[in-house]
Amino acid sequence: GSGGTAAEAAPYRVTIQQVPHQTIEVTFTPQVTGNLTGFKKSGSQSAELTSEANLALSYAFDAEVIADSGWIKGNPTISGALKNGLICGDVVISATEAIEDASGLRMPVGYIPLYLSDGCLYMDKDLQGKFNNKSLVKDGAKLFIVDITKNTTSMNGMFNPSKVSFAEGTLAESVIDFSNVEKGAITDLGVAFAGNQKLESLDLSGFGNVTAMYS
């Protein structure tokens, strides 16, 4: 059978501290934490569960920072009551300062920039963090590819999901914009879009020299 009692938990105060030139969007997912000790009893015996239960409600969170056009977004930050990465009390969510893009690049609002250099994609303009796992971007993300070195000829496998991402089902960028890529140099797209069932829009205009694309 089923049944039980519920106690109303004190609400957590979550403060979203916005930062100039960018917007912070956060989603929360409740998760039960703690434990309930398991045991077996015969039907003629009763048990008092009060001392056995140690349950609490915490929240997983996903924070996304969206920069205004002409700005490079900062990174999300969170401070306050956290345990094992879950919110368990009052917290403040913010972001590091946005940086004005001096290159003149005007990226569409809501897009995540990925930087293309020598056949590799990077998460940052300084080419320090490689984009080598689809789980690094949010499900359904809009990606804007910025060509840094303009000497890449092959993008073979660049968007092919890693084994880890494939297992997690995070194949899910919905928009990829190549409008900033030096397309004339690209001759091979290879398995660039294999396995992505959620792709809604793809800017491939100008890729007139492509001789190989397969899945």
Residue 130 per-residue DSSP state = B
Predicted confidence band of residue 4 (pLDDT cuts 50, 70, 90): very low
Q: What is the pTM of this model?
A: 0.54
Asked whether the beta carbons of 176 and 209 are under 8 A apart, the reply is no
* Angle at CA of residue 161, ends 26 and 24, nearest 5°: 15
Residue 33 has pLDDT above 80, yes or no: no
Predicted confidence band of residue 1 (pLDDT cuts 50, 70, 90): very low
Q: Tell me, rounded to whole angstroms, the distance of Cα 68 from its chain centroid.
A: 18
- In order of 64, 103, 159, 160, 161, the CA distances from 137 in angstroms are 10, 24, 12, 14, 12
What does the pLDDT read at residue 174?
80
User: Could you tell me what percent of the chain has a pLDDT over 70?
Assistant: 67
Residue 8 has pLDDT above 60, yes or no: no
The DSSP line for 38-89 is -----TT-----TTTEEEEEEEEEEEEEEEPTTEE---EEEEEEEETTEEEE
pLDDT digits (tens, 9 = 90+) for 115-136: 888 888 888 888 888 887 777 7
Q: In angstroms, rounded to a whole number, what is the distance separating the alpha carbons of residues 179 and 39? A: 61
Enter the tokens of residue 73.
């977004």
Residue 134 per-residue DSSP state = G
Q: In angstroms, rounded to a whole number, what is the distance separating the alpha carbons of residues 14 and 11? A: 9
pLDDT digits (tens, 9 = 90+) for 76-116: 899 998 888 889 889 999 998 888 776 666 777 778 888 88
Residue 5 has pLDDT above 60, yes or no: no
Using DSSP, state whether 106 is helix, strand or coil. coil
Burial (CB < 10 A; 0-12, 13-18, 19+), residue 15, is exposed
Using DSSP, state whether 189 is helix, strand or coil. strand
